[in-house]
Amino acid sequence: GENVEQHPSTLSVQEGDSAVIKCTYSDSASNYFPWYKQELGKRPQLIIDIRSNVGEKKDQRIAVTLNKTAKHFSLHITETQPEDSAVYFCAAHSGGGADGLTFGKGTHLIIQP
């Protein structure tokens, strides 16, 4: 089955700086890669996703890049703000099957004022 590795487990950045979270996956058949944000005590929420036929996708201050050859994808947050503090999870979905998403272990992003 799919295995997703996520790094770092904790990331602390100064407010206004950029943050990058990286994930690798094992199943070359995976073709859908969403990112979820989970604030303390709340549910995970989808913030951006990318499909395997696209190399990059951007939505305001967040962007995701995908390298299918290397089997890794990354989340980029620019001009970080205090409300960006949360745990971020990457996930991968193997194409065509009835499996659910396989998630990474999460990255605790801390925005320092």
Q: What is the contact surface with other proteins in residues (CB under 8 A)?
A: 4, 6, 30-32, 34, 36, 42-46, 49, 51, 89, 91, 93-106
Query: Which of 75, 71, 88 shows the shortest CA–CA distance to 2?
Result: 71
Shortest reach from residue 28's CB to other proteins, in Å? 14
Residue 15: other Cβ atoms inside 10 A: 13
Q: How far apart are CA 81 and CA 17, in angstroms?
A: 9
- Find the shortest distance in angstroms from Cβ 44 to other proteins: 5
Least distance (Å) between residue 100 CB and other proteins: 4
